[in-house]
Amino acid sequence: MNDNKFKLTEELLQRYYDGELDESGNRLVEQALAEDSQAAALLEDFRAVGNLLRAAADSTAPDQLTARRTWEAIDSELRRPGGKSGLRRNAAWLGAVAAAAAIVLYLSPLNFVPTVQASNELEIEDIDCNYASFMLLQPEAENGHTIIWINDPGDGE
């Protein structure tokens, strides 16, 4: 970028794009943009990435096709000819990574904890008892489970 007494940094350009500067700051940035084509191109990259992010956020149900098209649009924007400076390349990749991360987070399930249903069922088909008498009690518990008690009044052998 130009070596003026006012130095236009990437952070300052981002704040200008986000509308965070006061009136005098906006004038200084606009003057620097008029003199520096690389800074103007970087601002256009910010706008392109912002448009892609807004388009991704506005879609109600993004599917794989939408995600792929969004990534292709970002990729084609990054591969656009024009001798990008390192500053522009880094800003474009940062935007691309942010867009991809936003899409992945939006498409990922919210609950990562698997639920396992435990089964404590036991089926008794036959009971052999060597004693003359026994009593089978089968009360139903409050939680809907059935507990079977076998009372063996045998002689303790």
Q: What does each of the 157 residues of the chain score in pLDDT, given as a tens digit? A: 445 456 888 889 989 998 999 999 999 999 999 999 898 999 999 898 888 888 776 665 556 667 777 778 887 777 776 545 555 556 667 777 888 887 877 776 655 555 556 566 666 666 666 654 555 555 566 666 665 555 555 565 5
Domain boundaries, the chain: 10-107
pLDDT at 31: 92
Quick check: 96 and 116 in contact, CB under 8 A? no
pLDDT at 2: 47
Quick check: 32 and 26 in contact, CB under 8 A? no
pLDDT at 70: 79
Q: Which helix (H) or strand (E) holds 107?
A: helix 86-107
Planar angle of CA 5, 7, 10, nearest 5 degrees: 175
**Which among 13, 60, 11 is positioned nearest to 32, based on CA atoms?**
13
**Which among 98, 82, 8 is positioned nearest to 41, based on CA atoms?**
82
pLDDT at 97: 80
Nearest-Å Rg of the Cα atoms of the chain is 35
Cα gap 25→12, rounded to integer Å? 9
